[in-house]
Each structure stands twice: as C-alpha cells, then as structure tokens.
Structure 1
C-alpha cells in the first residue's frame, strides 16, 4: 500500500516555521548554492523534502510524525521562553533526540553511506569467494539505509548526554539563518591543533554542535572539559558582535546539503555576502578515503591510494572547518592542558566509560592472497 504522504520532509516543518517570512508559517526565504538563486518568499511546505524520501509504505514517515509532535513542543518552549530544560531531565533527552534525529535523517547522511558502500565494494578481490559475499551482501535501498541510521539514535543520544548546552541570544541587527542540514558538528579545539580528520564524531573530545532555532536563538552543545561559554551559572549567552553571527551563519553555508533558509530580516545583499565569504572554505561532509596496510596489528598508511599490497581502507567525513573564533567561546585552561592520546580518534572519557563509542567498524574479507579490512 502506498502512503498518501508523498511529500516527506527530512528537516521538520515545525522547525522551518521558526524561520518563516514575518512569522507567517507559510513562506520562507531561500538561497540555492548550486544555481545561486535567491527567493525572498518561497512556499515553506515544499522545502527540505523529497517525494517518498522514507519509502512508499509510509511506515517511517508515520513514526517520525509521532516523534516530531513531542519534540516540537520542547523546541517551542525553548524558543518562546529562551530557556533550556534541566540537565538529565526528560526535556534534556528530548532536546538531544531532536539534535541527533535531525542529523541522521538528512540526505547528506544518506549520500555518505552510499559513498562508503560503493568504495568498500571496489576493495573486494575479484575471486569466487568474495563475489559470493558481494552478491549476498544487502545492497540497501535509500529507505533501508535511513531506517538503519535511525536505529542508532538511542546510542548516540547516550554518547552526547555529557555535553553541556546553552542558548546563544542574537542581539545584533542581522538574523541567524539555517539550512537543509542545520545540525553543524564542529571541533574548534582539534582544528586548532591540526589533528587529522575526522574530529566531529559524537564521541570526540572538543565536540561542538550548533543548531539555529530561529533568527534570534542558536543552541550550542559543547564539551565542557574543553570550552568555556559565558557565565557558568547562566544557560544563555548574549551575542552583540555581528562577526560572531556571521561566523555561525557561514557554518550553515559550508555544512548544508544544497539550500540556505532565512526569515525576512536577511536580505539578498547579506545572503550574497555570506555566500561569497563561505567560498574560501571547503564544503563539509564529503567522505574522505585513504588506504594502507595492517601488519601485525599496526597501521601503515600508503602515500598513494589503493596500492596493490594495501589491505586497509580508511574512510571518514570531511569536517566543517572555517577557523571558528567566537568571542564568547574559548578553550579554557583545563582544555589547553589536555594531552592527546596516540590514536586517530580523541575520545571523550564519558563515551569510553559508556562503552558506546562507534568510532570504527572492522570487517574482514578473505581473498586468495590477502585480507582487506575497512575501518570506520
């Protein structure tokens, strides 16, 4: 049976309405990066959606609709009251659910999964045994990949429940904007230390997550063992400098799937200004691949990709990086004393203790002459 809900959103409508034109809940400003097209008042209900994105049976779409009804009330209260739920409360859990769910259901995530699957298949040796594995391996449909991603939501919520969180209140004359991939994972701490990617996994030391909630408010979740934001006892921090707002808005350009969204306060000149500034940074979220050898348990990375003797495929996401430097957010003294561990991934103690870190996945494929291993 085909659902009658053909237009399926990957960014919730209740969220986009917070950026609607003059708060009319029906129209929204947009800028498409691919064709550099600006529209002041576009139809909101058709934005950040695709036909049958979650499948034709409507099962996932209905499940998400039920969840969104609950989450929308939490976000609505935060926006209207400029206040946050208490830590480890039910409201806190819902806030984390909103962040993780909005991240994982995005087409960018689907694109990453498809890129990784395609590249892994290239590393199968061409022999009968591996061909049998290839033929029987599930070649997931987009809907199945999304469903599989959504199953990881509880674990990821558990991974980030140690992050502190505050509201950045915009008191400048320019608004916050958003995009069709509004959840920006960043790591200013490891970026400054020039640590190799990827540094924005949910278990990473120095993780920051920025989510604009409307033109006036941005939610930030952050590793409090590394950063200090405003007064320790306050859950809101006021932004008075436009350069801070500009940086947070540029993050949306660098991170987005294809489209920027904004309310009536962001005119075409300002959007074009941000677009021009964002061009000097690489777009985030592409999957980066490298290869090497696994010898006696030790990793050795090749200078060139996919050498004949390589048995190790490494893949990770391209981080969002703009040399972020907010006046209200600094690495504190404890963070500066953090000693890097001898590992590709710098993992927060909370995640190690919870034993829920999903920083890598190893799978062994046996061929005639060698073993190929891929890590995530």
Structure 2
C-alpha cells in the first residue's frame, strides 16, 4: 500500500514540480545567456541539433522493438510541417523572453487552453451549448484569460519586488513599455501557434505511433529550418561560435532536459494521473519564474505581471474545470459528444502532454 501511494501520489507530485522548475530554469538560463550576447536564432538551431543527436538511436531501437508502419512521404511531410511550426514557436518564444522576462512567458503559457478552445471552435472540433455549464465555463475562462493577457502585455507597472537596492532602481514607471509590449505580442503569437502544433502532432501520432522516432525526425527538420532562418538573420560568423560558457550550458541543457526528459515525465504523469492533474501545475511556473528571476537575473516583479498572471490563472482553471465537467458528464451519460470524439485530434486538456510550455515550446518545440 505504501509503495502504491508513493508511486501514484508522491512521485508524480515531486516529478511535476521538478519539471516546472526545470522548464523555468531553462528559460532563466537562456535569458542569462542572451544578456551576454548570444543570439536566440543561433540558440534555437543548436538546441535542435543537440536534441536530434540525443535521439539519434531512437529510429533503430524502435524498428527492432515493435512493428510500425513505414515512414512514407506523407508522414515525413507532416513531421516537416510540425518542425516548421515548432521552430516558429521557439523563435517567437525566445524572442519574447529576450524582450521581456521568463516570468511573463510563464504567465502567458496559461493561454494555451484558451487558444486551443478557440481553434477547436473555428475548425468545428468543439460544439458550444450556451445553456451548458461546461460551455459557459470554457467561454468565460477564455475571455478572462485573454483579458489577463492584455493586462500583462500593455501594463508593466512599477516594480513591487526586487533584490536590488532602491537607490539603484532607474526604471520608468510608465505603464506602456514598448519593449515589454513587443515581448508580450511575440509570446501571444507563440501560444496561438502552440495549439496548432498539438493538433498536428496528435494526427501524426495516429498515423505513426512512435513518439521517440517522430520526435527525432521533428528535431532533425527543426534544426535544418532554424539553421536556414539563422543564416539569414545572423550574418556575423562570430555569432555561431559558441564558447564553453553559459551559452553552451544553456544549449546543451535545453536539448537534453527540454526535448527528452521533460517529454518523458509528462507522458508518464499523464498515464498515471491524467491530463487534468498535469495541467494544474502550469500556473506554479509563474511563482517559480519570479523566484528564479529575482535570484539569478536580478529581475523585478512588476505589478502588471502579478495582476495579469492572477487573472490568466483564474481563466486557466475556469477553462480546465469546464472541460473536466464536460468529460465527466459525457462519461455519466455514456454519450460521446463531438468534443470528446475529437479529443484524440485536438485535446484541450492533453495539450499539455508535450509541454515546455516555453515550455514545450520554449524547451523542445
């Protein structure tokens, strides 16, 4: 009994907290590296290369261990499109962190369920019954989350927590910070693309049900695409020269801990505890990001980030509660709605199965 309790309760909780700390830590490490001059275009390209090298044995091992369909042109093309979307997400995400902070990125990552819900409606994967409590909760949560995103993007506000002496603070108290707004907009664009990445990934998994092999080819495509973009944007050859310092550490850690270990832990936790349990840990990353940013980057916690993150988190849990209520009702009634039928295509809750985000996208997409 004690072993069962440890395996099903203590270990998943500890693992999820560790994953969120790792994700935010990788973002913080990236921010520290870019402040020393590393280009995020170069970072994305190299992190994909590291992940591809780590996963290089996967296709050979999987072909021996199980019977799989052939990797035809259709599947490889879809994985290539996945790599294109993923590279765009990573570039936008790291650009957003570069312009703002890991704290803002962690707050904005909670927009994924809201944007997934909106895309599901647009592509007619989700039906809306206005008289249904679950639909009302998802609509309200989406509106609240988007409202919170406007707050953190447009209102930076004064710093309320800092480890620097007050005499050293020379920050403009203006609500509208152009750099902060650019960071918020690029992060918003990233989290609009993230649900598309999940939908396409789920479709690929149906056709080729082997995660490690698909992720290997995804990282291979991503490294090529990111390298092409980097060669156009970074014409200075010295930008591609990585020295054994914090830049190299951030690239290696992102490739190994982001693309490989985080995916493994999330997949295991989903199987043991379910998607609702995994998703509940996302807002914790905001507090972790604030603590790490203050300790390692000397960042400020701004009033706008605190207020906006609180609003987004409320919207996040409202959407999640609505979806959980809907699935519970479907199970009790024994009738599968269109939303539950398309869960295998664009799952609102299972959108966290691949999450770095940042962090899934910041870390491994």
TM-score in same-fold range (> 0.5): no
Q: Based on CA coordinates, which of the two structures has the bigger radius of gyration?
A: 1
Q: Relative contact order: is structure 1 or structure 2 higher (C-alpha 8 Å, sep ≥ 6)? A: 2
Greater helix fraction, Structure 1 or Structure 2: 2
TM-score in terms of structure 1 length: 0.27
TM-score in terms of structure 2 length: 0.27
Greater strand fraction, Structure 1 or Structure 2: 1
